């Protein structure tokens, strides 16, 4: 697992499999201020383009949220130590951008914390009990992965989207993001200028929909909703793949828009975006085409 500091209050931990991104967000309390002593204590983590110090200061009422999750058992087990090394407070909440199993595993690392998600995701989890657990079990069986404890979703807190969610003295902006699945949200951290996009805007993965014929318009609409949010961000964190700067994210957004339009109009003949023409992505494209045919 690779950890990168995007901002004093934001760390991204990327899993060794699926290149899944987990975001650790810290916000000082209303009475908390950053101090020089905190700066000296902060652990050094890799920064985009170089190395440097992580965030500083906690203060009374400071909070840490864990958004989405890495995948492997050792990576999940390392999250508490990573948070401690960064001098972030112990996490007080979990958030998931949507209900796919690989975004829900924070509950394994922190089984005592409630899982917050969009109302649409909470409804999905209620309507398909055990789905995430079955998909995780199938993934683990394929890769011969053993886990000390199973995934238990526990308390799921439904959040209104669009809306806001308080963390310490800050607020996260929650924006609807459907199309890849029928549920989900993107999360903007305005003070840190970081956008957490869920399974959108990946530079390594093609757009996919659960039901691409009915969800393609929703996916395109989500891309347009993300466009102004990308404009407010310095860093964009997709669910899978490298963290992007604003310019890179806008390029991926446009590539995805063009691809989905071409898929609708030309099917199998649609051109794949440059950099996403690997055998695995061609297989995803074939699946998109097959879904369009049904």
Confidence label for 152 from pLDDT (cuts 50, 70 and 90): very high
Whether 113 shows a pLDDT value over 90: the answer reads yes
Dihedral (CA of 31, 34, 36, 39) sign: positive
Calculate what percentage of the chain has a pLDDT beyond 70. Answer: 88
Calculate what percentage of the chain has a pLDDT beyond 90. Answer: 83
Confidence label for 195 from pLDDT (cuts 50, 70 and 90): very high
| pLDDT tens digit sequence for 220-231 | 999 999 999 999
Of 262, 273, 265, 266, the residue nearest 202 (C-alpha):
273
Asked which of 59-73, 200-214, 249-263 is least confident by mean pLDDT, the reply is 200-214
Whether 118 shows a pLDDT value over 80: the answer reads yes
Beta strands of the chain (E only): which ranges? Answer: 2-7, 10-14, 21-27, 44-47, 50-53, 63-67, 93-95, 115-118, 156-159, 163-167, 170-176, 185-189, 194-198, 235-238, 244-245
Domains of the chain: 2-293 (3.60.15.10)
Report, as an integer, the average pLDDT of 228-238: 98
Residue-wise burial string across 264-289, b where 16 or more C-beta atoms lie within 10 A, e elsewhere = eeeeeebebbeebeeeebeebbeebb
| pLDDT tens digit sequence for 70-82 | 999 999 999 999 9
Report, as an integer, the average pLDDT of 107-115: 96
Structure confidence at residue 30 (pLDDT): 73
Q: Are 270 and 285 in contact (CB under 8 A)?
A: yes
Confidence label for 52 from pLDDT (cuts 50, 70 and 90): very low
Structure confidence at residue 237 (pLDDT): 98
Asked which of 43-47, 81-85, 201-205, 278-282 is least confident by mean pLDDT, the reply is 43-47
Whether 254 shows a pLDDT value over 50: the answer reads yes
Structure confidence at residue 176 (pLDDT): 97
Confidence label for 214 from pLDDT (cuts 50, 70 and 90): low
Whether 54 shows a pLDDT value over 60: the answer reads no
Structure confidence at residue 46 (pLDDT): 40
Separation CA 43–CA 134 (nearest Å): 38
Report, as an integer, the average pLDDT of 270-293: 92
Greater model confidence, 294 or 206 = 206
Report, as an integer, the average pLDDT of 148-156: 93
Place of tokens 């999750």: 69
Question: 242 in helix, strand or coil?
Answer: coil
Whether 37 shows a pLDDT value over 80: the answer reads no
Structure confidence at residue 215 (pLDDT): 83
Structure confidence at residue 232 (pLDDT): 98
């Amino acid at each position: 697992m690779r950890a990168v500091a995007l901002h004093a209050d934001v760390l991204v931990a990327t899993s060794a499999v699926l290149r899944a991104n987990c975001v650790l967000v810290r916000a000082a309390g209303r009475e908390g201020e950053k101090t020089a002593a905190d700066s000296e204590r902060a652990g050094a983590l890799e920064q985009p383009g170089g190395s440097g110090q992580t965030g500083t200061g906690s203060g009374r009422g400071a909070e840490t949220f864990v958004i989405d999750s890495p995948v492997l058992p050792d990576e999940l087990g390392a999250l508490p130590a990573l948070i401690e090394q960064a001098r972030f407070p112990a996490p007080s909440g979990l958030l998931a951008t949507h209900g796919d199993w690989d975004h829900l595993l924070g509950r394994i690392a922190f089984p005592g914390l409630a899982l917050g998600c969009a109302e649409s995701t909470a409804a999905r989890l209620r309507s398909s009990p055990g789905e995430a657990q079955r998909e995780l079990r199938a993934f683990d069986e394929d890769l011969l992965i053993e886990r000390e404890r199973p995934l238990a979703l526990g308390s799921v807190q439904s959040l209104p989207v669009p809306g806001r969610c308080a963390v310490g003295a800050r607020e996260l902006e929650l924006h609807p993001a459907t199309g890849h699945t029928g549920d989900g949200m993107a999360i903007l951290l305005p003070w840190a200028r970081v956008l957490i996009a869920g399974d959108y805007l990946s530079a390594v993965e093609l757009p996919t929909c659960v039901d691409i014929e009915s969800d393609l318009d929703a996916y395109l609409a989500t891309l347009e909703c993300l466009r102004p949010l990308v404009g407010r961000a310095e860093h964009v964190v997709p669910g899978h793949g490298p963290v992007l700067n604003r310019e890179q994210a806008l390029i991926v957004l446009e590539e995805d828009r063009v691809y989905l339009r071409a898929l609708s109009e030309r099917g199998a003949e649609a051109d794949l975006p440059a950099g996403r023409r690997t055998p695995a992505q061609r297989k995803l494209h074939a699946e998109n085409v097959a879904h369009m045919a049904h």
